[in-house]
Structure 1
Amino acid sequence: MRPPEPGLGGAVVSLIDREPVDLERAMAQWRDVREAVSAAGWEVVVVEGHEGDPPCPDGVFVGDAAVSVGGRVILTRSAVESRRPERAAIRRTLASRHVRVVPIRRPGTVDGGDLVRVGDVVYVGVGVRTNRAGLAQVTRTLEASGLEVVPVPLHKSVQLNSGVTALPCGTVLGHPPLVDDPSVFEDFVPVPERGGAHAFPLGGGAVLVAASAPGSARTIADLGYEPVLVDISEFEKREGTMTCLLAPF
């Protein structure tokens, strides 16, 4: 995880109107997410910037910048130029943990939020954030790990993970207005709020869900899981999701 910076209000928005962000409240919400993850048994490693690093308004969305899948760790390259400096602190943090990365190289662009794994299949959203050159690099990396890569065209959401997420059982939750073609997924279950489309499985049957999605939490409970609701409303004002606040390994 990476704490929000004072410049969070300047983070990128693409498909929603820009609203003021309360930084103090955002910091409290970030701590609540961290607490929920720690309580579920995860070790939380915090990415820290160094003095002299450029500002990273979107840096809190660390799940966009690093993805661990199939035994490989992909260090992404954002289509948003202002987000590319985020890589430096993440690379340093991973190196300190002796984690080797596979960097996405130009002209490829990839957002971590565009990768959704369901079993041995990794769906990759191709749209404004992940381009064809980035898809090709991800495909080479993940197919070497024995995973199948399925490209998914995106027109209704910024990232694939903004509209869908996978539960451990293989069920894909999705908010229909944000999903181009639900039939791509073998077991698709619609959820009523956009906040329910980016739930995060904590392990042990618990699932972290945005507090903005109580109806989706009920759907998740009906599927046999225990929803853990946390308010991330300040991050949702910048198209942030639960899954992009976390980079699980």
Structure 2
Amino acid sequence: MTSVSFAGPGDEPIVLDVTTPAAQVRVPTTRRYLMCPPAYFTVEYAINPWMDPTQPISTSLAVEQWTALKETYERLGHRVETIEPQPGLPDMVFSANSGTVIDGQVLGSRFRAPQRAAEADHFRRWFLANGYRDVVMPERTNEAEGDFTWTGRYLLAGTGFRTDPLAHSEAQEALGVPVISLQLTDPRYYHLDVALFVLADDLIAYYPDAFSPGSRRVLRRLFPNAILATAEDAACLGLNAVSDGRHVILPVEATALADQVAQHGFEPVFVDISELRKSGGGPKCCTMELRD
């Protein structure tokens, strides 16, 4: 066993004890992300169990945490595009919910909650203004990368709380990729991206108790070597993480998950998303990947 030190969000060292086989060499790939500054972030309604409008919110702290996340991506060599935030849309910071992009084709979103409905058209206009022509707006409720996770081979598609199951076939037609439907059962993990994330083409991490028994069997069949998160790591939104194939950006509280990630040859990179988590979001929620 080897002690490995990683930088935390304030550059303080976080030490994990890991055993990493020498053969496991993970190679990062440069990514392009779309993010939205949380200039109007607040919690003024409750559309998931994490949101409590009676609790104090610091918009300035949310901006600070979001900026640190953006700068982390840029420090790792990734390109970050931004979209202009809009007043009256406090959850627009969670850009992952507004589009799924694979091979330059875009499937937009249709939100279940009326409070977020207007976000979809702002992102549609951004795509068109930035050279995307294959933009399909869905007929069925579809909260984009909140419930659609691209593995490089399959589009894992969540349902149960937000995305209409009929949106899964709509995504297959629009994006031309095979879709695997997964049933979410715990309202705390209302989107797939708070219950599962992709580390590399051959590996995912997920919280089994967030899924139906049949979906757990599907995941075991597809990913027999998957990392299984603890209840504690799921509860801090540790699975709302972003991987570039080597670096894994995840909440600073998710130490057990980080330990497992490191054992598989990845490098955990910690960020503080405590303020953004008050709305039920984390690193991935703030990050739409533009796969051109």
TM-score calculated relative to the size of structure 1: 0.89
Matching residue within 181, 190, 211 for 1:158: 190
Check 1:210–1:95 CA distance in 2 against 1; reply closer, same or farther (3 A cut): same
Residues 110-129 of structure 1 aligned to structure 2 (within 5 Å): 110-112=142-144, 113-129=146-162
2:178 matches 1:148 = yes
Q: For 1:13 and 1:236, how far apart are their aligned partners in 2?
A: 13
Residues 195-214 of structure 1 aligned to structure 2 (within 5 Å): 195-203=237-245, 205-214=246-255
Q: How many pairs does the alignment contain?
A: 241
Q: For 2:274 and 2:95, how far apart are their aligned partners in 1?
A: 17
**Mean Cα displacement is larger for which, 127-136 or 220-229?**
127-136
Post-superposition CA distance 1:87-122 (Å, at most 9, x none)? 23222322222112433333x110121011223111
Displacement after TM superposition at 1:7 (Å): 4.4
1:35 match: secondary structure: helix
**Runs of 5+ consecutive residues of structure 2 not aligned to the other structure:** 1-34
Q: For 1:28 and 1:54, how far apart are their aligned partners in 2?
A: 19
2:270 matches 1:232 = no
More helix by share: 1
Displacement after TM superposition at 1:164 (Å): 0.5
- Larger RCO (CA within 8 A; separation ≥ 6): 2
2:57 match: secondary structure: coil
Q: Considering only aligned residues, what root-mean-square deviation do their CA atoms show, in Å?
A: 1.9
Post-superposition CA distance 1:22-58 (Å, at most 9, x none)? 2111110000000001111122111014xxx561111
In structure 2, what is the equivalent of residue 168 of structure 1?
A: 200
In structure 1, what is the equivalent of residue 123 of structure 2?
A: 90
Matching residue within 49, 52, 58 for 1:22: 58
**Mean Cα displacement is larger for which, 59-68 or 14-23?**
14-23
Check 1:37–1:7 CA distance in 2 against 1; reply closer, same or farther (3 A cut): closer
In structure 1, what is the equivalent of residue 39 of structure 2?
A: 5
2:223 matches 1:183 = no
In structure 1, what is the equivalent of residue 4 of structure 2?
A: none
Displacement after TM superposition at 1:21 (Å): 2.2
2:202 match: secondary structure: coil
Displacement after TM superposition at 1:11 (Å): 5.5
